[in-house]
Chains A and B, each alone.
Chain A
């Protein structure tokens, strides 16, 4: 499943669904709202572009790392500290492909998928700066 949504993610169900025939490893990446002295985080996406970008990243990862299954779910809207922001679940025959495939996906998302985060705190609000100015390719 590839999705951008406001609701939370059932990670357990995704893990169960990832156990395809031939699976030897499942890697779960769960990015959560960190307690950086903030109240909440607000996320925004250009969904009409972000979803196709996620699908493209998924296809590249699946081909390059021989993944047996792959889920990417990115949340938008207001999220409290500790809430899930981004969940990536991949399965593969072996741990190497699963770890590397998961890493490829998160770095590609950070580099080029049009999603933004704003930290809301008592001392004012602040847009989080992108790690890859002008969409530079990540160095994995």
Chain B
């Protein structure tokens, strides 16, 4: 299955964006993002803590809907999903 991952703001600068990946059935959101982030040490450290969990302030969306990062390890991704990962918003 094919998944698109989009990073924004500082995460985009460190890891790029609109990354299309092929994932196996049964892949979970946490593992998918972690695998992509591992290409940049700085990018990985910006998003994940020492235990390999999403940092508290990181926001994750699946098809435009917020996903609780605490449950990302058990949230499956499905074909055609768009996953977005970004730091706290600062518009206005």
* Contact between chains at A46 and B6 (CB < 8 Å): yes
Task: Give the complex CA separation of A45 and B87 in angstroms.
Answer: 12
> How would you classify the secondary structure of chain A's contact residues: helix, strand, loop or mixed?
mixed
Which residues in A have their C-beta under 8 angstroms from that of B92? 31, 74, 85-86, 106, 109-110, 113, 115
Interchain CB contact (< 8 A) of A135 among B6, B9, B59, B91: B59
Interface residues of B, Cβ cutoff 8 Å to A: 6, 8-10, 12, 56-57, 59, 61, 64, 66, 84, 86-92
Interchain CB contact (< 8 A) of A129 among B12, B61, B88: B88
Task: List residues of A (84-140) whose CB comes within 8 Å of B's CBs.
Answer: 85-86, 106, 109-118, 127-135
Which residues in B have their C-beta under 8 angstroms from that of A110? 89-92
24 interchain pairs, CB-CB under 8 A: A31-B92, A44-B9, A46-B6, A52-B64, A106-B92, A109-B91, A110-B89, A111-B89, A112-B89, A113-B89, A114-B84, A114-B91, A115-B92, A116-B89, A117-B90, A118-B9, A128-B90, A129-B88, A129-B90, A130-B87, A130-B89, A130-B90, A133-B57, A135-B66
* Contact between chains at B9 and A132 (CB < 8 Å): no
| Shortest distance between the CB of B50 and any CB in chain A (Å) | 19
* Contact between chains at A46 and B86 (CB < 8 Å): yes
CB-nearest residue of chain B to A29: B92
A35 at the interface (CB under 8 A from B): no
**A127/B57 contact (C-beta < 8 A), A46-B8, A52-B64 known:** no
| Shortest distance between the CB of B36 and any CB in chain A (Å) | 17
| Shortest distance between the CB of B19 and any CB in chain A (Å) | 15
Which residues in B have their C-beta under 8 angstroms from that of A111? 89
